[in-house]
Amino acid sequence: MTKSVKNTVKKISPYGSWVSPVKANLLASASIGLEAVKVSGQDAYWLEGRPMEKGRVVAVRRTPDGAQVDVTPPGFNTRTTVHEYGGGAYFVHGKTIFFSNFTDQRLYRIDPDKEPRPITPEPQTEWGLRYADGRLTPDGRKIICVRQRLLEDVKTEEHPLIPQYANELVVLPADGSAEPKVIASGHDFYSNPRPSPNGRKLTWLCWDHPRMPWDGTELWVADLALDGTLSNPKRVAGGPDESIFQPEWGWRDELYFISDCTNWWNLYAWRDGTVRPLAPMEAEFGAPQWNFGQVMYVVLADGRIACIYSQDGIDQLGIIPSGGGSLQTVKTDYTVFYSLATDGERLWLVGGSPTQSPAVLVVDPKLEAGPVKAVKDRPIVEDHPITVEVVQQSTTLAIDVGYVSIPCPIEFPTENGLTAHALFYPPVNRDYKAPSGKKPPLIVSSHGGPTGSTDALFSLGIQYWTSRGFGVVDVNYGGSTGYGRAYRQRLNGQWGVVDVQDCINVARFLIGQGEADERRVIVRGGSAGGYTTLAALTMYHFFAAGASYYGIADLEPFAVDTHKFESRYLDSLIGPYPEAKELYRQRSPIHYVDQIACPMILFQGLEDKIVPPSQAEIMVRALEAKKLPYAYLAFEGEQHGFRKAENIQRSAEAELYFYSRVFGFELSEPVEPVEIKNL
């Protein structure tokens, strides 16, 4: 961000019509995605998602002299589709990188100054073999990873339309000289295969339907032979009602992991059959495992553990002494952290804040110096010689802070005498103010998942709205992560009820605070947030307009026609199908479309395997039958979440145009019109 230049006279213009420097083309072209930071030797690596390259994901290497080079060349896309959501798409040994290529889902190897070459066989069926979350054995000779294998012509009575896959752990030579060999199978899902530093043991996670990984997982350890086979498997922790996250070996073969057995995802250590807590806190050290390869803590060379933890929706960096004890917080200006790595002493990770876009950071957490004081019952080291170096930013766009809205965390009353959480962004533009007595329109944003959360990270997508005169409230409704297991379980059996009620109640709260126009409240969301949007518009008469991005309209088809990872997700959110068929109908927006009383715009990727286009098309047909105002934009080549720059831009401009027509305000800049039916 850049420092604001104060204007003494502001122009008076209606909310929604303010001129903003945050243009729709910048939402994609000005930013790259940053994730999956790793360190090997003296080099650091990360992945960049590049919308201007049609969403291609590139592995980047940074050498000690600061030089950065693309490791995966043009024509290759570092992305796996295991579980559809992917993650864990690459790993490094020395200067050799191994990665899953999106086009064919095969594993490739890139040696220094060499071209990529495949090391797994070509599947008989397209994407029939997929790989993720790999690691090398300490000697660098073998790879152990997750494989998802298509079971040809296998169908189940419960889900006849869902392709069936076997998820398993496999071992293969790192040079690709032999085909992968299965070493663990029988469970529905596997993740986190991690060889011990001496190469004698392997740990991993597994779980079975109908549980999701944040419901219940099992942590296993087995002896690992030189040929990669396993023996003497032992379950260390976890079960149907305990979620285990990110097992990692310490330098002395002590096994660390995160468990929510006390309601909060906290750190534990296991050795010789004994499990002990390391730094018990009412804080979240883990996260929902939607993707492979999530790293929330690392073991430093001196035995200390550097970790990311979250309290009240804000991330912190912490250091736990070797052997456990009182956690010390590293004081920084950042509020969101993810993808932690270490070179043994320094921390490499991605961090951001409400005014700082995500960046790859290098942090030197020398906490032994500086005075210590207690804040919220935890010690914080102040004025210590910590250094934070920014080595790569997701955007180089400079936006004057006079156009940036800073979120305010709010806790608001909701149903059953409970409270819920959200981040409120008021409209901000240094050049404009609204006519006296007017209140801004409010966008109520419902995050996806629904087992996920929103965080206090600078977002051009939010600033696009607030700098034009919209208020935005990003809702961590009941069921969101970051507030303990009990809060996460509020949505069990109540999806389409608790989330919708919280979205309505946060809007009522802000209207009561004088922050929003009660006649111009919008609900919007993508994926599960799109379902919440559709449920709110069909089952409640509260919102004035809505926008659904690849949202679920009919729960019954989603229960029988989706991918394996989520095929039993609704068992906990709604109920088992078909036993709870009537409840599925009661919670499906499509059966209440005749109750919609406001305009709606829908967006859909035509290659979406998670929420197929048929879901949006069902809603469109119903809207047309009732002659309600609507617009529908479908994009070729897009899957679940838009990655192409031109489609990201088109969606934002189309949504703004839609609201301008619905609420009757003039746009500050010309955009391509959207055909709005029945208006």
Q: Tell me: the pLDDT tens digits for 166-193?
A: 999 999 999 999 999 999 999 999 999 9
Q: Which of 298, 299, 318 is nearest to 308 (CA)?
A: 318
Per-residue pLDDT at 386 exceeds 80: no
pLDDT for the residue numbered 375: 40
pLDDT for the residue numbered 379: 43
Residue showing tokens 């490791």: 71
Confidence of residue 399 (pLDDT cuts 50, 70, 90): confident
pLDDT for the residue numbered 522: 98
Per-residue pLDDT at 374 exceeds 60: no
Average pLDDT, the chain: 91
- Average of per-residue pLDDT across 317-336: 90
pLDDT digits (tens, 9 = 90+) for 483-539: 999 999 999 999 999 999 999 999 999 999 999 999 999 999 998 999 999 999 999
**Local structure of 96: helix, strand or coil:** strand
- Average of per-residue pLDDT across 205-226: 97
Read off the pTM. Answer: 0.89
pLDDT for the residue numbered 373: 43
Question: Residue ranges of the domains in the chain?
Answer: 11-19+408-663
pLDDT digits (tens, 9 = 90+) for 58-90: 999 999 999 999 999 999 999 999 999 999 999
pLDDT digits (tens, 9 = 90+) for 639-672: 888 878 889 999 999 999 999 999 999 888 888 9
Burial (CB < 10 A; 0-12, 13-18, 19+), residue 541, is exposed
**Local structure of 602: helix, strand or coil:** strand
Confidence of residue 628 (pLDDT cuts 50, 70, 90): confident
Q: What is the amino acid identity at position 362? A: V
Quick one: DSSP state of residue 331?
Answer: P
pLDDT for the residue numbered 459: 87
- Average of per-residue pLDDT across 464-492: 96
pLDDT for the residue numbered 159: 64
pLDDT for the residue numbered 30: 65
CATH level 3 topology of 11-19+408-663:
Rossmann fold (3.40.50)
Residues β-bridged to residue 364:
387
538 sits in which H/E element? helix 528-539
The percentage of residues in the chain with a pLDDT greater than 70, rounded to a whole number, is 94
Q: Which of 584, 436, 592, 426 is nearest to 513 (CA)?
A: 426
Around Cβ 164, how many Cβ atoms within 10 Å? Answer: 15
Per-residue pLDDT at 384 exceeds 60: no
- Average of per-residue pLDDT across 364-380: 50
Do the bridges between strand 96-100 and strand 90-93 make them parallel or antiparallel, or are there none, so unpaired? antiparallel
Q: What is the amino acid identity at position 607? A: E
Q: What is the amino acid identity at position 213? A: P
Q: Which residue has the higher pLDDT, 111 or 642?
A: 111
Q: Which residue has the higher pLDDT, 289 or 627?
A: 289
- Name the most confidently modeled range: 56-60, 123-127, 351-355, 386-390: 56-60
- Average of per-residue pLDDT across 399-419: 94
pLDDT digits (tens, 9 = 90+) for 586-619: 999 988 988 888 899 999 999 887 788 888 898 8
CB burial of 593-603 (b: ≥16 within 10 Å; e: otherwise) equals beebebbbbbb
pLDDT for the residue numbered 7: 57
Confidence of residue 2 (pLDDT cuts 50, 70, 90): low
pLDDT for the residue numbered 4: 58
- Average of per-residue pLDDT across 367-392: 55
pLDDT for the residue numbered 80: 97
Torsion angle defined by CA atoms of residues 477, 479, 480 and 483, in that order, rounded to the nearest 10 degrees: 100
pLDDT for the residue numbered 369: 40
The percentage of residues in the chain with a pLDDT greater than 90, rounded to a whole number, is 73
pLDDT for the residue numbered 400: 87
pLDDT for the residue numbered 605: 92
